Structure 1
Amino acid sequence: MSEKKTNSYQTSWILLLALLTAIAPLSTDMYLPALPQMATDYAVSTILISNSLPAYFLGLALGQLIYGPVSDRIGRKVPLIFGLSLHVIASVLCIYVSDLNDLLFVRVLQALGSCVGLVLARAAIRDVLETNQAAKAFASMMIVMGVAPVIAPSLGAGLLTFFHWKSIFIALALLGVLALIWVLLQFKETLPQSRRLRLSFKDAGLLYGQIFKDVSFLYPMLAGCFSFGVLFCYINAASAVLMDGYHLSQKQFAFVFGLNAVGTMLLSAMNHKIEHKYSVVQRLKMGGWVQAGGGIILLFAAYISPLGLYAVMAGLFLAVAGIGLTAPNSTALAMSRQGRNAGTASALMGSLQFAFGMLSGILLVLLPFSPLVNLAWAMLLFVACENAMIYATQYDNEFNVISE
Structure 2
Amino acid sequence: MQTQHSKTQYSSAWIMLLALLTSLGPLSIDMYLPALPQMAHDFGVSTQMIANTLPAYFLGLAIGQLIYGPVSDRIGRKLPLYFGLCLYTAASLLCLMVQDEWSLIAARVLQALGGCVGVVIARAAIRDRLDMHASAQAFSSMMIVMGIAPIIAPAVGSLILEFFSWHAVFAALSMMGVVCLFCVHFFFQESLPASKRLKLSFHQVVLLYITIFKDASFRWPMMIGCFSGGLLFCYISSSAAVLMDSYGLTQQQFAYAFGTNAFGIMLFSTFNKHLIAKTAVMQRLKMGAYIQLLGVCILLAGGLMAHAPLAMVMAGMFLTVSGIGFTGPNAMALAMSQQGARAGTASAVMGSMQFACGLLGGLVLNFMLWSPLLNMAWVMLIFMAIVLLAIYQTKMTVNMAAK
| TM-score, shorter chain, exceeding 0.5 | yes
Quick one: distance in 1 between partners of 2:397 and 2:272?
Answer: 22
Change (3 A) 1:221 1:78: closer
Shift of the alpha carbon at 1:135? 8.3
Change (3 A) 1:218 1:50: same
1:212 is aligned to 213
Question: Contact between 2:19 and 2:143, CA under 8 Å: does it hold in 1?
Answer: no
The amino acid across from 1:200 in the alignment is S
The 3-state SS of whatever aligns with 2:180 is helix
- Root-mean-square deviation (CA, aligned residues, Å) is 2.8
- Aligned pairs (5 A) from 1:209-358: 209-358=210-359
Deviations 1:13-42 (A, max 9, x none): 765544323222211111111111111111
2:167 is aligned to 166
Change (3 A) 1:327 1:137: closer
The amino acid across from 2:316 in the alignment is G
Shift of the alpha carbon at 1:6? 7.0
Change (3 A) 1:29 1:279: same
Deviations 1:251-288 (A, max 9, x none): 11111111111122222222234445543222212222
Range with bigger deviation, 111-120 or 388-397:
388-397
The 3-state SS of whatever aligns with 2:267 is helix
Shift of the alpha carbon at 1:63? 1.2
Deviations 1:168-209 (A, max 9, x none): 000011111233344456656555544432111221221111
1:64 is aligned to 65
Shift of the alpha carbon at 1:229? 1.0
Range with bigger deviation, 11-20 or 339-348:
11-20
Quick one: distance in 2 between partners of 1:354 and 1:196?
Answer: 26
1:384 is aligned to 385
1:44 is aligned to 45
Structure 1 residue ranges without an equivalent (≥5): none
The amino acid across from 1:104 in the alignment is I
Question: Contact between 1:69 and 1:201, CA under 8 Å: does it hold in 2?
Answer: no
Residue 143 (str. 1) matches residue 113 (str. 2): no
Structure 2 residue ranges without an equivalent (≥5): none
Question: Contact between 2:77 and 2:192, CA under 8 Å: does it hold in 1?
Answer: yes
Question: Contact between 1:73 and 1:198, CA under 8 Å: does it hold in 2?
Answer: yes
Shift of the alpha carbon at 1:330? 1.9
Quick one: distance in 1 between partners of 2:332 and 2:192?
Answer: 25
Deviations 1:115-174 (A, max 9, x none): 1222234445666x6779988876653333221111111111111111111110000111
Range with bigger deviation, 17-26 or 7-16:
7-16
The amino acid across from 1:57 in the alignment is F
The 3-state SS of whatever aligns with 1:199 is coil
Deviations 1:89-136 (A, max 9, x none): 111111111222211111010011111222234445666x67799888
* Count of paired positions: 399
The 3-state SS of whatever aligns with 2:254 is helix
Deviations 1:205-251 (A, max 9, x none): 21111111122222221122111111110001000110111010111
Change (3 A) 1:282 1:189: closer
Quick one: distance in 2 between partners of 1:265 and 1:244?
Answer: 27
Quick one: distance in 1 between partners of 2:137 and 2:278?
Answer: 23
TM-score by structure 2 length? Answer: 0.89
The 3-state SS of whatever aligns with 2:198 is coil
The amino acid across from 1:363 in the alignment is V
Change (3 A) 1:315 1:139: closer
Question: Contact between 2:136 and 2:329, CA under 8 Å: does it hold in 1?
Answer: no
Question: Contact between 1:57 and 1:358, CA under 8 Å: does it hold in 2?
Answer: yes
Quick one: distance in 1 between partners of 2:127 and 2:285?
Answer: 26
Quick one: distance in 2 between partners of 1:325 and 1:265?
Answer: 10
Quick one: distance in 1 between partners of 2:135 and 2:338?
Answer: 20
Shift of the alpha carbon at 1:58? 1.1
Quick one: distance in 2 between partners of 1:123 and 1:316?
Answer: 30
TM-score by structure 1 length? Answer: 0.89
Identity between Structure 1 and Structure 2 (%): 57
Question: Contact between 1:232 and 1:357, CA under 8 Å: does it hold in 2?
Answer: yes
Quick one: distance in 1 between partners of 2:17 and 2:269?
Answer: 24
1:79 is aligned to 80
Shift of the alpha carbon at 1:12? 7.5
The 3-state SS of whatever aligns with 2:200 is coil
